[in-house]
Structure 1
Amino acid sequence: MRKLLLLSLLLFTCFGNAQSQVKLLSMEEIQVGADTCYARALHVDSTGLYMGSSNGRLYVYDLMKKQLIQEFGKDEMAEIRDLHRSEQGMITMKSGATGRLMSVQRGAVNYIDTFILDSVFLDVLDISAHGIGVMMGDPVGGYFSLYCTHDYGKSWSSMKYMIPAPEGEFGYAASGSTLKMLNDTSFVFVTGGSKSVFYKVNFTKGEYVKLSYSSTQMPFEQGEGSGAFSMVQISDSNYVVVGGNYTNPGNGKKSCYVTNDLGKTWEPADKMPKGYRSCVVYDAANEVLYCSGRNGIDYSQDGGKHWKSLTKEAAFTLTLWEGKLYGTSLNGKVKIFTIKVV
């Protein structure tokens, strides 16, 4: 019996230590954009760092040479809130009184202006590996503004007037992470405001778009400025959603919820993040979640049930690449966090 107790204690100790070994080794800050801008759109891969900023510019930064190598855009693209990069090129999305898109392919820039985006505040887009994607904007006329593409974002068609939006319910353009393509015929998205809702949508496209959906309310705080601001997929049916109230950024109450059944039911985190959070990402290799907000970055090693503070450095949006965590900041800067997970 004594040996069994000692073994149990040893296993518990080892497990507990394993769950606490996320270490911030260093933080580097680089100047990517103009010192008058901030960014909520960020992508990093082997070709460089791509940042869509509030001044309408898409910055391309060489991480090896530590220098800006290209800049695209103009003032009319102000408030870029999301971007998607693939081998086909890049699409950036402008939010504002009227939506607009900018396509960059092999250095050539094309601005996508279409009447279907008139008077629409765009929130998020996502495109599958086969070039099929969906973009969501705030409700117009009582319905969510939804658009689809079948050519990597070069052209878009309307899916509007299909999913009704209760008064006061809308999306957030906080970090380009409130909509996720599941495959070429389905996607999920989350909302906030008067209600925070998880929508699962199936669609097909022939001459006309055919669409069906299911929805479940999430128990975030209700009201303007509150709700779901970001989600990440861990497995086919497991999602973590973060948010809160951006007008009260230090209050972490009701800032994270988890589903293990594709949105049918939601459970609150047992230990919430330290405040309102605008972005959440998942390091699948190390099974670690990171979420960020105005008062810092937190991490979770148990699927979002318990969160610990990583740093008090703020970040609007996050992305991961080769063991480093990247976060956008004020004044055109990006913070690079070197993290060790053991």
Structure 2
Amino acid sequence: MVVLALVTLAATSGFTSGRPAPSWRLSETGVTARFRGLAPVSGRVAWVAGSAGTVLRTVDGARSWQRVDPPGAAELQFRDIEAFDAEHAVALTIGEGEQSRLYATADGGRTWRETFRNDDPAAFYDCVTFLDRRHGLALSDPVGGKFRILATADGGRSWRVQPTAGMPDALPGEFAFAASGTCLVSADHFGAGRAWFATGGGERARVFATVDGGLSWRVTDSTLPSGPSAGVYSLAFRDPWHGIAVGGDYATPETAPDAAATTRDGGRTWQPAPAEPGEYRSGAAWLRGRTALAVGPSGSDISRDGGRTWTEFDAGSFDAVRCVPGGCWASGEQGRVARLAWPH
């Protein structure tokens, strides 16, 4: 067990447009893994998963962390983790062929069971999401010209590759980004079966949407630029209709024109943000109401108008951000995990 004190990271600014701005309060994790997988459950319980097979869990609001890696995973790269509570979680490793795997725990990470190992050398899984405690989806880059969906109906204990008859064709060079666990997102309170995934790499950066649990998908172009390392890296929806998309090009992280967009119709159409972060952002989340956050290696931004305009409030490096009742969490390189704090 890693038990270390909480330390505070100073914000780069105290006010944004005359309003108090938040800051990130860093928690000392005691490791140097890069945590692209982040799964907060509440203000006290959260999981992170990252490089070198590293998985951590806290049950005391980040005052201490437990190391709960699955055995034999040290050579694998975790990129996503989804948690239901302090005991139950599902984690995804990425890579070609057998490097893409799913693990599940029901006892707080004391034991893990490998529940899926990819046996198709053409598949590469990027993200996993759960529509409710039983039904989940995992996304692979295109195989045979179509994105591949893996589904579970038993909370991640078993998985099955879905038929591709309802999946639109992929563009040449199109793929998803395993950068923050939010290239594929869903939320059970929006109604059964809703999920979205985002792409880049090809001629256009696009967003796919399903309303039937992943059996059929529609696709639309986003307004974000696309390229070999550019596109939509993260999606977040606050209800069935209002969503945000952020991204850019990780090869040029400090310059990302037009790399944020919004939708008001469930992803059928997208509008560019009039004042985007201007830098590559790999993760996004809704805080409350029309307030949203975006993070990336060069900083964090806040939007108070539904994702139309963004203002940077911190210059630290993060890859992923998630908000739950009880607060917002972020994670990234060098073992960085933080909770959002507001000035009194």
Shift >6 Å, 4+ stretches: none
Contact 1:38 1:53 in 2 (8 A): yes
CA 1:109–1:118: 2 relative to 1, 3 Å: farther
Point out where structure 1 has 5 or more consecutive residues left out of the alignment: 1-16
* TM-score w.r.t. length of structure 2: 0.84
Q: Which has the larger radius of gyration?
A: 1
The whole-number CA distance in structure 2 between the counterparts of 1:262 and 1:150 is 24
More helix per residue: 1 or 2?
A: 1
Contact 1:130 1:184 in 2 (8 A): no
The whole-number CA distance in structure 1 between the counterparts of 2:74 and 2:118 is 16
| 1:38 equivalent in structure 2 | 34
| 1:105 equivalent in structure 2 | 106
Give the counterpart of 2:268 among 256, 264, 286: 264
CA 1:238–1:266: 2 relative to 1, 3 Å: same
| 2:3 equivalent in structure 1 | none
1:221 aligns with 2:230: no
The whole-number CA distance in structure 1 between the counterparts of 2:181 and 2:277 is 20
CA 1:48–1:143: 2 relative to 1, 3 Å: same
| 1:82 equivalent in structure 2 | 80
What per-residue deviation string (whole Å, max 9, x for no partner) do you get for residues 58-82 of structure 1?
A: 1113445722234222335621111
Point out where structure 2 has 5 or more consecutive residues left out of the alignment: 1-14
1:122 aligns with 2:125: yes
1:319 Cα deviation after fit:
2.2
Which residue identity is paired with 1:152? G
DSSP-derived class of the 2:55 partner: strand
1:274 Cα deviation after fit:
3.4
The whole-number CA distance in structure 2 between the counterparts of 1:168 and 1:266 is 22
Give the counterpart of 1:69 among 66, 81, 84: 66
Contact 2:126 2:181 in 1 (8 A): yes
1:233 aligns with 2:234: no
Contact 2:241 2:265 in 1 (8 A): yes
1:301 Cα deviation after fit:
0.4
* TM-score w.r.t. length of structure 1: 0.85
Cα RMSD for the two superposed structures: 2.4
For this pair of structures, how many residues does the alignment match?
317
1:328 aligns with 2:331: yes
What per-residue deviation string (whole Å, max 9, x for no partner) do you get for residues 86-110 of structure 1?
A: 1571100001123101111113310
More strand per residue: 1 or 2?
A: 1
CA 1:77–1:101: 2 relative to 1, 3 Å: farther
What per-residue deviation string (whole Å, max 9, x for no partner) do you get for residues 252-286 of structure 1?
A: 311101111122221111111130100001112x5
DSSP-derived class of the 1:229 partner: strand
Q: Structure 2 matches for 1:118-267, cutoff 5 A?
A: 118-162=121-165, 163=167, 164-181=169-186, 183-194=191-202, 195-203=204-212, 211-267=215-271
The whole-number CA distance in structure 1 between the counterparts of 2:103 and 2:319 is 22
Contact 2:51 2:78 in 1 (8 A): yes
Contact 1:323 1:338 in 2 (8 A): no
1:165 Cα deviation after fit:
1.1
Which residue identity is paired with 2:197? F
Which residue identity is paired with 2:146? Y
The whole-number CA distance in structure 1 between the counterparts of 2:174 and 2:76 is 25
1:52 aligns with 2:44: no
Contact 2:41 2:83 in 1 (8 A): no
The whole-number CA distance in structure 1 between the counterparts of 2:271 and 2:119 is 38
The whole-number CA distance in structure 2 between the counterparts of 1:69 and 1:276 is 31
User: What percent identity do the matched residue pairs reach?
Assistant: 23
DSSP-derived class of the 2:178 partner: coil
Contact 2:131 2:195 in 1 (8 A): no
What per-residue deviation string (whole Å, max 9, x for no partner) do you get for residues 285-335 of structure 1?
A: x53111011110010000011111111112111123566442213222213
